[in-house]
Amino acid sequence: MGVASRRRRLVNGKRRKTRQRKLAFASEGGGEAPGSDEGRVEPRAAKRTSESPADNEHWMEAICRRENLQAALRRVMSNKGGPGVDGMTVEQLPVYLRQHWPTLREQLLSGRYRPQPVRRVTIPKPTGGERKLGIPTVVDRFVQQAVLQVLQPAWDPTFSEHSYGFRPGRSAHQAVAAAQSHLAAGHGWVVDLDLEKFFDRVHHDRLMASVARRVSDKRLLKLLRAFLNAGVMDGGLVRATTEGTPQGGPLSPLLSNLVLDELDRELERRGHRFVRYADDCNIYVRSERSGRRVMANLERFIRRTLRLKVNAAKSAVARPWERKFLGFTFTRRRLRRRAAPESIQRFKRKVRRLTGRMRGRSLRQVIRSLAPLLRGWRAYFGFAETNERRDLDGWIARRLRSMLWKHWHHGRRRYRELRRRGVSRRLAIGTLWHIQGPWRASRTIAMSLALPRRRLDELGLPRLWPVAR
């Protein structure tokens, strides 16, 4: 019996080592969060009106729970993203964690974890200019994601019902529908607020004061402060950060909602009808005079209390059909949702880039590159209630016919290709004789017969407008 017992202990020990080798935190951290529920990974959520600290100081234990860490790793791996200043990729993260997680865990639980600076990158804005992003290292992204998964369930129920950005179960479509309901109720003027460089100008001390009203764990407060002060590497040089929450990390949206929750509460206190999506906030009033008064008062509140600045060039008091909100605007009559003209023009520019010149690509290859763009645009702007999408379907078909006409190069080949596609001899000759330029050719009967919509469907071109059955 003694030999058998030793063998069982040896086998069980090997199994435990194998599980730990798969991922170092796979069997650590269990039972350290408050409460008796095994699957619970976050403290109890507060109600909307509560801002009191948690009833315990074990937030970091909840963050380091096995289930929470495994979910954070899966999320970081699925989000992909580029490497940070250390060059580590998401594919290398699991291997790194197998070797270093015990050390990282000890640093987190003792309050000694120090994030690395973020890597500065810039991306073009849809409306022009550039947006600055800060890319954390993959290890810091993993830690931020683990923190987010604990804090968001606790904080989100305390946020305003009029806030829709970066919140679970809420979407831009819901925000646009809420704006439409305010307009339908007779609030026909909009105060369109745009905060200037919001993510770069968040006041750290005010933000941490808001966090401290909700979090009592000093280790977590120290960790969040460290993320804010981690610095930015730009052009090989590290620059200290004294304000702002750089876009690019998992925690940035939650912290931005926490900052702007104070604005939401002020708007609610004043009894305004409003909709906010991240730093894009629209307030709906009954008259232009009321709108100008609201704009002046809020500009003063934002400057003095939030220590932020309203972008005067992009903010305005106007009719809703003169402004856009989350890519949508509204028709003047019946107040129906429609894609904003700027959104349509941006979409057309992208289509033109993909269909400008074939550069040796076949029509099938061009359609394959177009398909993700069309599906994504349809998924978002399919929420519109007007028929711009039907017009865009026709315009895209013309772009492809024009591209094909240019690809045929000269009259002899164009005649041969038209005939091969079933166009009559007389119509083919007449088209070649009268038409000059690919865009004009794209609207002829001959090109519609040579490349009908049915053929584009067969090649896999998605439609923006649903086909009647």
CB 264 within 8 A of CB 160: yes
Confidence of residue 199 (pLDDT cuts 50, 70, 90): confident
Q: Using CA atoms, how far apart are residues 225 and 207, in angstroms rounded to an integer?
A: 9
The two tokens of residue 270 are 């004043």
CB 417 within 8 A of CB 450: yes
Q: How far, CA to CA in Å, does 299 sit from each of 162, 304, 455?
A: 19, 9, 55
Q: Is the pLDDT of residue 466 over 90?
A: no
pLDDT reported for residue 240: 78
Q: Using CA atoms, how far apart are residues 272 and 283, in angstroms rounded to an integer?
A: 7
- Better-predicted residue by pLDDT, 434 or 1: 434
The two tokens of residue 133 are 């992003």
Residues near 198 by Cβ (< 8 Å), separated by ≥ 6?
256, 279, 308
The two tokens of residue 3 are 């030999």
- Better-predicted residue by pLDDT, 349 or 246: 349
For CA atoms 59, 64, 70, 76, give the dihedral sign.
positive
- The structure's pTM equals 0.83
Torsion of CA 156, 158, 159, 165, to 10 degrees: 10
Q: What is the mean pLDDT of residues 345-358?
A: 89
Q: What is the mean pLDDT of residues 77-103?
A: 92
Q: What is the mean pLDDT of residues 258-265?
A: 95
DSSP 8-state assignment for residue 47: P
pLDDT reported for residue 42: 36
pLDDT reported for residue 356: 82
pLDDT reported for residue 163: 96
Q: Is the pLDDT of residue 354 over 80?
A: yes
State the angle between helix axes of 252-269 and 204-212 in degrees (0 to 180), rounded to the nearest 10: 80
Q: How far, CA to CA in Å, does 105 sit from each of 25, 63, 191, 245, 457?
A: 8, 10, 47, 24, 54
Q: Using CA atoms, how far apart are residues 274 and 267, in angstroms rounded to an integer?
A: 8
For CA atoms 195, 199, 203, 208, give the dihedral sign.
positive
pLDDT reported for residue 239: 77
CB 245 within 8 A of CB 202: yes
- Residue range 201-253, pLDDT digits in tens: 888 999 999 999 999 999 999 999 999 998 888 777 777 777 888 788 899 99
Q: What is the mean pLDDT of the chain?
A: 86
Q: Is the pLDDT of residue 448 over 80?
A: yes
Q: What is the mean pLDDT of residues 18-23?
A: 44
- Better-predicted residue by pLDDT, 347 or 21: 347
pLDDT reported for residue 174: 97
Positions of E strands within 220-363:
232-234, 237-239, 273-277, 280-285, 316-318, 328-330, 337-339
- Better-predicted residue by pLDDT, 157 or 125: 157
Q: What is the mean pLDDT of residues 41-68?
A: 64
Look at 40-54, 61-75, 319-333 and tell me which has the smallest mean pLDDT: 40-54
